[in-house]
Amino acid sequence: MPDAAESAGYATLESTEFSGAWPERPDLTGLPNVVYIVLDDVGFAQFGCYGSSIETPNMDRLAANGLRYTNYHTTTLCSPSRACLLTGRNHHTVGMRSVSNWARAYPNGRGAITNRAATIPQ
């Protein structure tokens, strides 16, 4: 029968074998918080911060204390618009010309965001 100290040594050895499998968590102190607010069927000028007569105090406060992006390119389809949001790049440059399942027959239309394009979560 193995000695207790001898068994504990093996348990420690086995548990340390996997220490490289889990990457160390990076220090997230000081990184900015990013919040996306995505609204459907809302016009650009429907917020008070952009000159509307409609009162939108909470959105106006967010706009006054954060960043306002005013040159976003949108399309009539969801896949290219979402690709723009996720990458910060024009949808053609990341391969999303149309709806993801329809674009495969066209040049630069892979039906998926290219692996060369970093996304916001990355």
- pLDDT (tens digit, 9 = 90+) per residue, 107-120? 666 677 888 888 88
**Residue-wise pLDDT tens digits, 66-92:** 877 777 667 777 888 888 888 888 888
Q: CA 82, CA 22: separation in Å to the nearest integer?
A: 31
The owner of tokens 């340390």 is: 16
Q: CA 98, CA 81: separation in Å to the nearest integer?
A: 9
Reply yes or no on whether the pLDDT at 55 is more than 90.
Answer: yes
Reply yes or no on whether the pLDDT at 8 is more than 60.
Answer: no
Averaged pLDDT, 88-107: 73
